[in-house]
């Protein structure tokens, strides 16, 4: 089932900051290395809301390439994906879903949360591998969809100069990100899909996605009229229909 959106409160509430690099971040510190960086205010906004953290207490390393572990952690944290709506017979572990993601390390929980929530990350993913622009866009759009419960929309495809370089499986995500002003093409009309994405670029995309969700909240679902309907929807173990049981 989709995650119920919490965007009106999400954008004003402070949440627990999850470590991106595995190092603890001083809560009150400011990043000293993002002055004059494109997207500085957006990065600061995400940091102030507890959605991203730095490589150190005072350094965000905006030009550093984002690796997969950092990217999945940023997305899970920023879109507030969680396991709260699921009931488990056995607690899931990263090794249940991935061959190279270790259990019990700083990024393990983020990969577990992504998998349980249906964010499609390859089973053979390498947490240390650098992310490209098209890969991160794909993961971001999936996370956004799960968090915002967005309906599928018809869009007019944008002409991308280097469209031939795009992985066909990522084209839909890239086109949606352009239509929602989460991404943009360069001055030549190219997307540069194979380029490694930086931490600053990823943070700006996340900010833009959260901004879109705030301005386009998902329609609310009407409450069920009868408790009998809820009882009928419960499974044989007695778990309500509003929860998913993962074995």
Residues 33-64: tens digit of each pLDDT: 999 899 999 999 999 999 999 999 899 999 99
pTM above 0.85, yes or no: no
In the predicted model, what is the mean pLDDT of the chain?
A: 82
The model's pLDDT over 91-140, given as tens digits with 9 standing for 90+, comes to 999 999 999 999 999 999 999 999 999 999 999 999 999 999 999 999 99
Most distant CA atoms of the chain, gap in Å: 59
The count of residues in the chain is: 247
Q: Cα 56 to the chain's mean position, in Å?
A: 22
Residue 240, pLDDT above cutoff 50:
no
If you average pLDDT over residues 231-239, what whole number do you get? 41
pLDDT value of position 245? 34
Residue 224, pLDDT above cutoff 80:
no
Closest CA to 118 of 147, 93, 154, 91: 147
Sequence-distant contacts of 156-161: CB under 8 A, at least 24 apart: 158/185, 159/189, 160/185, 160/189, 160/190, 160/191, 161/185, 161/188, 161/189, 161/190, 161/191
- Check: CB of residue 117 under 8 Å from CB of residue 142: no
pLDDT value of position 217? 79
Give the percent of the chain with pLDDT over 70: 76
Give the percent of the chain with pLDDT over 90: 70
Distance from C-alpha of 228 to C-alpha of 236, rounded to nearest angstrom: 15
pLDDT bracket for residue 237 (50, 70, 90): very low
Element holding 245 (H helix, E strand): strand 244-246
The dihedrals phi and psi of 132, each to the nearest 5 degrees, come to -90, 170
pLDDT bracket for residue 220 (50, 70, 90): low
CA distances to 72, 102, 150, 185, 193 from 161, rounded to whole Å, are 28, 39, 28, 9, 11
Which residues have CB under 8 Å from 90's CB, separation 6+?
Answer: 247
pLDDT value of position 219? 67
pLDDT bracket for residue 149 (50, 70, 90): confident
Residue 168, pLDDT above cutoff 80:
yes
Distance from C-alpha of 212 to C-alpha of 146, rounded to nearest angstrom: 14
Sheet strands (E) in 29-170: 86-88
Half-sphere exposure in the Cβ direction for 115 (13 Å, CA): 21
Distance from C-alpha of 199 to C-alpha of 192, rounded to nearest angstrom: 16
Per the listing, tokens 């089932």 go with: 1
């Amino acid at each position: 089932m989709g995650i119920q959106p919490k965007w009106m409160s999400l954008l004003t509430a402070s949440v627990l900051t999850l470590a991106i690099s595995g190092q603890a971040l001083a809560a009150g510190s400011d990043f000293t290395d993002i002055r004059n960086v494109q997207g500085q205010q957006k990065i600061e906004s995400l940091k102030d809301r507890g959605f991203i953290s730095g490589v150190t207490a005072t350094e965000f390393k905006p030009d550093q390439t984002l690796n997969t572990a950092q990217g999945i952690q940023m997305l899970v944290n920023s879109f507030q994906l969680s396991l709260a709506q699921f009931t488990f017979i056995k607690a899931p572990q990263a090794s249940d879903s991935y061959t190279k993601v270790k259990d019990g390390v700083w990024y393990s929980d983020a990969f577990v949360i992504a998998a349980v929530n249906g964010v499609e990350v390859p089973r053979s993913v390498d947490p240390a591998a650098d992310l490209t622009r098209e890969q991160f866009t794909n993961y971001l759009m999936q996370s956004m969809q799960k968090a915002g419960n967005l309906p599928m929309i018809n869009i007019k495809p944008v002409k991308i100069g280097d469209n031939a370089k795009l992985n066909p499986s990522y084209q839909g995500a890239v086109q949606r990100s352009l239509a929602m002003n989460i991404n943009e093409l360069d001055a030549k009309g190219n997307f540069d899909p194979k380029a490694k994405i930086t931490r600053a670029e990823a943070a700006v995309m996340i900010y833009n996605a959260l901004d879109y969700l705030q301005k386009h909240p998902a329609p609310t679902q009407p409450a069920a009229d009868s408790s009998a309907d809820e009882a009928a929807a419960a499974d044989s173990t007695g778990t309500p229909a509003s929860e998913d049981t993962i074995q």
